Structure 1
Amino acid sequence: MTSVVITGNRYLIHPEQADRFGPFEKTFLAEGDSWMDASAAVQGSLPFYLAEEFNRRGKTHLIVNISTSGQTLQRISQTMSGEYLWWLQQLRYDAVLLSAGGNDFIDAARDEAPGEGLLRDMQGQPLPADGYACVRQDALASLVDGYLNPNFDAMYQALRSSARNAGTPLLLNCYDTPVARNAPAIPNLVGPWLWTAYRNNHIDPSLWPTLTAGLFKDIKGAVQAWPVGRTGVVAVPTTGVLVPAEADSTGSSGDWKNEIHPNASGWRKLARIWADLLA
Structure 2
Amino acid sequence: MEHLQCLTPDELKRRPDLSTFRWRLLAHGDSWFSFAAAKVDAHANLLEELVFGQPTVAVSCAGHHNALRRMVDLESSPDFIRLLTDPSAPTWDGVLLSVGGNDLVSAAMVPAVQANGEPVPMNLRLLRKQTEWGAPSAGVSRYFSEDGWATFGEYVRANLKHVLSLRDAGPSQGKPLFIHCYAVPTPRPAGAESASGAWLYPALKAYAIPQADWAAMSRLMLSKLAALFKACAADAAQYPSLQVFDSTQVPIAPAALGSSGISGDWHNEIHLNHSGCFKIARAWSVHIEAVLSGKPLVTAPPTTGRGRRGGGGGGSAPASA
Shift of 1:167: 2.3
Question: Which has the higher mean CA deviation after the structures are superposed, 109-118 or 195-204?
Answer: 109-118
Deviation at 1:113, TM superposition (A): 4.7
Deviation at 1:111, TM superposition (A): 4.1
For residues 124-166 of structure 1, give each alpha carbon's deviation from its aligned partner in whole angstroms, at most 9, with x where no partner exists.
9799452232111111101112x1111110111111221x100
Distance 1:239 1:261 in 2: 14
What amino acid does structure 1 have at the position aligned with 2:56? H
Match of 1:256 in 2: 266
Residue 167 (1) aligns with residue 187 (2): no
**CA–CA distance in structure 1, aligned partners of residues 198 and 21 of structure 2:** 39
Q: 1:264 & 1:79 partners in 2: Cα distance? A: 29
Structure 2: tracts of 5 or more residues without a match: 114-118, 290-321
Counterpart contact for 2:164–2:240, Cα < 8 Å: no
Distance 1:240 1:2 in 2: 23
Q: Structure 1 pair 49/113, CA: closer, same or farther in 2 (3 Å)?
A: same
Tell me which residue corresponds to 1:204: 210
Q: What pairs up with 1:28-107 in 2 under 5 angstroms?
A: 28-39=25-36, 40-41=39-40, 42-50=42-50, 53-54=51-52, 59-67=54-62, 68-76=66-74, 78-79=75-76, 82-88=78-84, 89=86, 90-107=89-106
Map of 1:156 onto structure 2? 164
Alpha-carbon offset, residue 2 of structure 1: 7.1
Aligned counterparts of 1:211 and 1:86: Cα–Cα separation in 2: 39
Structure 1 residues 125 and 139, CA, compared in 2 at 3 Å: closer, same or farther?
closer
1:159 corresponds to which letter in structure 2?
R
Instruction: Report the CA distance shift for 1:5/1:250 in structure 2 as closer, same or farther (over 3 A).
Output: same
CA RMSD of aligned residues (A): 2.6
In structure 2, what residue type is equivalent to 1:201? Answer: Y
- Are 2:232 and 1:222 equivalent residues in the alignment? no
Using the size of structure 2 for normalisation, the TM-score is 0.75
Q: Distance in 1 between matches of 2:31 and 2:22?
A: 26
From 125, 128, 135, give the equivalent of 1:120: 128
**Deviating 4+ runs (over 6 angstroms):** 123-127
Matches of 2:132 and 2:161, distance apart in 1: 40
**Percent identical residues:** 27
Matched-pair contact (CA < 8 Å) for 2:133–2:142: no
- What's the CA shift for 1:180? 0.7
What is the Cα deviation at residue 110 of structure 1? 1.1
The change in CA–CA distance for 1:112 and 1:87 in structure 2 (over 3 A counts) is: farther
Deviation at 1:97, TM superposition (A): 0.7
Which is worse superposed, 131-140 or 22-31?
22-31
Stretch of structure 1 that moved more, 124-133 or 151-160: 124-133
Quickly say closer, same or farther: Cα 1:70–1:181, change in 2 above 3 A. farther
Q: Shift of the alpha carbon at 1:248?
A: 2.2
Question: Tell me, which stretches of 5 or more residues in structure 1 are unaligned?
Answer: none
Does the CA-based 8 Å contact 1:32-1:72 persist in structure 2?
no
Q: Is the 8 A contact 1:5 1:63 kept in 2?
A: yes
- How many residue pairs match? The answer is 265
Q: Is the 8 A contact 2:226 2:246 kept in 1?
A: no
Deviation at 1:200, TM superposition (A): 2.2
CA distances 1:31-53 after superposition (whole Å, capped 9, x unpaired): 12111222231212111122xx3
Q: Which amino acid aligns with 1:231?
A: P
Give the C-alpha shift of residue 10 in structure 1. 4.5
Contact 1:181-1:195 within 8 A present in 2 as well: yes
| Residue 70 of structure 1: how far off its partner (Å) | 4.8
Per-residue CA deviations over 1:245-264 (Å, capped at 9, x if unaligned) read 11122112111111111111
Cα 1:124–1:23 change in 2 (3 A) is: closer
AA of the residue aligned to 1:234: Q
Give the TM-score, by structure 1 length. Answer: 0.85
CA contact (8 A) 1:109 1:118 kept: yes
C-alpha contact (below 8 Å) 1:33/1:71 kept by paired residues: yes
SS in 1 for 2:28: strand
**Distance change >3 Å, CA 3–CA 97, structure 1 → 2:** closer
1:208 Cα deviation after fit:
0.8
Q: Are the counterparts in 2 of residues 185 and 258 from structure 1 also a CA contact under 8 Å?
A: yes
Maintained 8 Å contact 2:190/2:269: yes
